A and B are shown apart, each in its own frame.
Chain A
């Protein structure tokens, strides 16, 4: 069957599944809409959290980034998994015990102030909107590359699917679809990896294959890779540090704190019945995520090796451009691969030196998207990758949209503007907020702001510097005051935003950057994407300093903190 038909069939089948789930799991109450009735089994929630968490960036971009960064790409692997350790021990159980619907609601109650709640809503919306733009773009791109429909049609189809299950089912519909999406995406990610590992090393387990010898030789795969890249003038794959050890440290920690502080992940833990389910659910989520995250470095290393060996099959003898394989031609059309024959010898010279390198464009994303073609895998595997990429983008987009919609209908409307509205009215409002959020995200997807590429990493820095410290202080300190928390959140998020803007331009318009995006101007050589941890330190410092000079929190706040630290007597989520 031709690839195009097969791709339509596989993607169509997964979409039919998502719609069927949406019809079956409609939400009948606000409790079902916001937290799926708090009745999700911890393993099921773990799976849903894994899909919620793993976005188009994890599925499509991460292995490609590692392939070209080598050891330096480890910041993403450790950062995006290590955050779950913090979440599982330091945040999730206590927030589940608190037992209400949204993250700003906790911040508002703990810091006894609508102002704190409003600032939390603001931080939540900034983080989630920057994140959702990347997902909308991912949906449009996946459609246009695999199904050859244009970007806007693809985006529109994706929006309709999300609209259907998110507006009808709220958290309940999203949860069950995310479980299905996890199965699709993990299958789509591991199957090509297994094939490629078998081809290269005869070992079906990619995690072991990366540490094995190449099939039919005594050379270790990683040694061979190190040798090939250094021969071409690149830095050694297994030791290539990203900028500096301090920068890697800060980047990893920023991603971890951001992971723990992203509201769309935290609210997933409100959907389980008990406090101890919140703990175990985080473990299951991390396990399901680890399956992809330990496969990714194998995909990265093997794809880089395959790619280099295609372009230069024998050292010193590059491939002739006229003899390039079909996948090379396919991806040249998309603009993700670009060749310019500088010396006009008809050969593809590839190397680290920009003066002689003729592979002028190699987009990171190509490593996962074109991997099955590079390795010569059957068409159904390629079709599966398309469905997997869409599942990853749709599941994360839906989770983010729910976080935004519930902040609007529950925190702003019910919490501040019209506390008297009935449950039915709030449910209607939450559906309208969801529809508005999808329309808004779609608008940003159709007119992606210039900064779309940098947004996912920025979302982590913002969450790490604003929401994460506020939640930590809310749980672990009884002394931090309303004034302290508000000042801390505002200081943290401002410092991070300013640092990013001063180096990369206001709203990423590079001409407005007033300090220039160059390492010499960076604070201790820390790149803007890694700055969240500094913002977090500022947040903690300001909050504690302000708390020392303001009146201590009232007694009922201390009671609240004491009560969330012990699991029993947990009020069911949503019983106000």
Chain B
């Protein structure tokens, strides 16, 4: 199995951190943002029969969490391939 040089390992970690940071922003925005801090503003709009802010708090944030984790899994699998450190 491939062993990364310290520089490559460092690069790999930086790329991973950057991906995590981006996804954590999405995680924060859908739950704490749309579901809590901005809920009153968003409740002026509707999605189906739901008030939008209420929908984010009780439905939308959860759907987004699922998407985030699967997206991270896919991106990391691609990153592993790029660095030649795929597990068999």
Contact = CB atoms under 8 A, between A and B. Distances in A.
A282 B65 CA distance: 11
B65 A213 contact: no
Contact of A211 (B9, B32, B48, B73): B48
Interface stretch (A52-60, A76-84, A103-111, A165-173): A76-84
A565 interface: yes
A212 interface: yes
Contacts of B23: 85, 89
A208 B47 CA distance: 11
Contacts of B80: 276, 567
Interface stretch (A180-188, A189-197, A286-294, A438-446): A286-294
A484 interface: no
A248 B33 CA distance: 12
Contacts of A85: 23-24, 27, 65, 68-69
Contact of A222 (B6, B50, B57, B70): B50
B48 A569 contact: no
A365 B49 CA distance: 27
B37 A565 contact: no
Nearest to A73: B58
Q: Which of A210, A252, A283 has the most CB of B within 10 A?
A: A283
Interface string B25-50: 00100011001110110010001111
Contacts of A10: none
A566 B12 contact: yes
B85 A566 contact: yes
A211 B16 contact: no
A14 interface: no
Given A82-B27, A249-B36, A562-B9, A222 B49 contact: yes
Contact of A238 (B31, B51, B69, B76): B51
B54 A220 contact: no
Contacts of B4: 566, 568
Nearest to B55: A211
Nearest to A71: B54
B50 A88 contact: no
A282 B69 contact: yes
A274 B86 CA distance: 10
Binding site secondary structure of chain B: helix
Contacts of B77: 276
A368 to B, nearest CB: 16
Contacts of B12: 565-566
B48 to A, nearest CB: 4
Nearest to B58: A297
A570 B87 contact: yes
Interface in A216-259: 220-223, 238-239, 245, 248-249, 252-253
B16 A565 contact: yes
Contacts of B48: 208, 211-212
A568 B5 CA distance: 12
Contacts of B36: 74, 245, 248-249, 252
A436 interface: no
A280 interface: yes
Given A565-B9, A565-B13, A88 B62 contact: no
Nearest to B67: A283
Nearest to B48: A211
B27 A252 contact: no
A463 interface: no
30 contacts: A71-B39, A71-B54, A71-B58, A74-B35, A77-B58, A78-B35, A78-B57, A78-B62, A81-B61, A82-B27, A85-B68, A88-B69, A89-B20, A211-B48, A222-B51, A238-B51, A238-B54, A239-B43, A245-B36, A245-B37, A249-B36, A252-B35, A276-B76, A276-B77, A279-B76, A286-B66, A297-B58, A566-B9, A566-B13, A567-B85
**5 smallest A-B Cβ distances: which pairs?**
A74-B57, A211-B48, A211-B49, A283-B69, A220-B49
Interface of A: 66, 71, 74, 77-78, 81-82, 84-85, 88-90, 93, 207-208, 210-213, 220-223, 238-239, 245, 248-249, 252-253, 274-276, 279-280, 282-283, 286-287, 290, 293-294, 297, 562, 565-570
Interface of B: 1-4, 6, 9, 12-13, 16, 20, 23-24, 27, 31-32, 35-37, 39-40, 43, 47-51, 54-55, 57-59, 61-63, 65-66, 68-70, 72-73, 76-77, 80, 85-87
Given A290-B66, A297-B58, 16 more contacts: A74-B58, A81-B62, A89-B20, A89-B24, A207-B59, A222-B51, A249-B32, A275-B87, A276-B76, A279-B73, A283-B72, A286-B65, A286-B66, A290-B65, A294-B58, A570-B87
